[in-house]
Amino acid sequence: MLSSKVAARIKELRLQNGMTQEFLAELAGLDLSYLGKIERGQIENIKIETLDKIIRAFNIDYPSFFSFEKDDNDISNIIHDLNSLDRREDIIRVFKQIIAISKN
């Protein structure tokens, strides 16, 4: 169902951008509990105006939002886990070194 994909995409983008639900709700001008229901797929028919507010809050275009190419949320989960770690900066530095080595 499209509504469950939209819900998953909102959560995925929020986590990728290191946003809390509170922050995204504030940026989009939405009630926090309503955004939570959207992310959990409890709102089946999201108004286009609401979706537009969310997409604008992510500062992306519609084609980018509706690219459901990912099979899972591995990247989002990794980013979420990184954001919750105490030594996040050290871990990010290590990842940057790995990426730099991979490019050579």
- The two structure tokens encoding residue 31: 């009630």
Asked whether the beta carbons of 35 and 25 are under 8 A apart, the reply is yes
Average pLDDT estimate for 2-31: 92
pLDDT of residue 75: 63
Average pLDDT estimate for 88-99: 80
What CA–CA distance (Å, rounded) separates 62 from 24? 17
Domains and CATH numbers, the chain: 2-103 (1.10.260.40)
| pTM score, whole prediction | 0.65
Residue among 16, 19, 1 nearest 65 (CA): 16
pLDDT of residue 71: 47
Tens-place pLDDT, residues 36-69: 999 998 988 889 999 999 999 999 988 889 886 5
What CA–CA distance (Å, rounded) separates 53 from 26? 10
